Structure 1
Amino acid sequence: MIVRQAFFEGTVHPGREAEFRQFVETRLVPMWRQFPGVRDLRVMFALSRDDGAPPFPLSLAMRFDDEAALAEALEAPIRFESRAVTGELMAMFDGRIHHHVFEVVA
């Protein structure tokens, strides 16, 4: 099993936290659920962090059967559509998004 995680490292513009969350839930989550081969989607909004830890107000994890399924999802039209919508989300966010792929063993 493969998990691809996206980490939104940075800060949501002050006063736009609720708008940011609603945007993700209403605009992006439905698109992310359409990725071919996605077995599970976890969208996580930060509640707290250790002192000195970098801020990650949002993280998402997509689970796929294998690397081939992930590769298919990364080439799917819905991914490119969701990237354009994510660009709109970035108007409420200062920071960067980075992705990591993990192999699940347990």
Structure 2
Amino acid sequence: MITRTAIFEGRIKPGYEERFFSEIQQRLAPLWKQFPEASNVRLLRVDKADDDALPIVMIQQIDYPSMKAVETALASDIRAKARVVTLEILEMFEGRFYHVMSEGNLVDQTLVGV
């Protein structure tokens, strides 16, 4: 299993906090669920963090069965539509978002490549 994680680092512009998450839930989450070969889609709203943590407001994760499936999803029309909506919603956000990919379930499996 491959998990593609989007990390939203920064802050929501003052006065937009609830609207930001509402737009994500209503407009983006349905598109994320339509990504080809996506299995689990998770949206994590950060409520509290250590004092010295980076200012991360949200984490989004999508699981795929393989790297080929990730590539298929990233090349899809639905991903292009989601990207347009993402950029609109990010008008309410100050910061950056980036992606990381991870493999496997390290609790249940041996670390790969260690």
Shorter-normalised TM range: over 0.9
- 2:101 aligns with 101
Deviation of 1:48 (Å): 0.4
Unpaired runs of 5+ in structure 1? none
Write out per-residue CA displacement over residues 20-67 of structure 1, whole angstroms, 9 at most, x where no aligned residue.
010000000000000000010000111100011111111100000011
Q: Residues of 2 paired with 1:104 and 1:14: CA distance?
A: 38
Q: Which amino acid aligns with 2:102?
A: F
- Three-state SS of the structure 1 residue aligned to 2:95 is strand
- 2:4 aligns with 4
Q: CA RMSD in A?
A: 0.7
Q: Which amino acid aligns with 2:40?
A: D
Deviation of 1:14 (Å): 1.2
- Runs of 4+ off more than 2 Å: none
Unpaired runs of 5+ in structure 2? 109-114
Percent identity (aligned)? 36
Higher-Rg member (1/2)? 2
Q: Residues of 1 paired with 2:30 and 2:55: CA distance?
A: 25
Q: Which amino acid aligns with 1:44?
A: L
Please state if 1:53 is matched with 2:37: no
Any residues of structure 2 matched to 1:4-43 within 5 Å, and which?
A: 4-43=4-43
TM-score under structure 2 normalisation? Answer: 0.90
- 2:77 aligns with 77
TM-score under structure 1 normalisation? Answer: 0.97
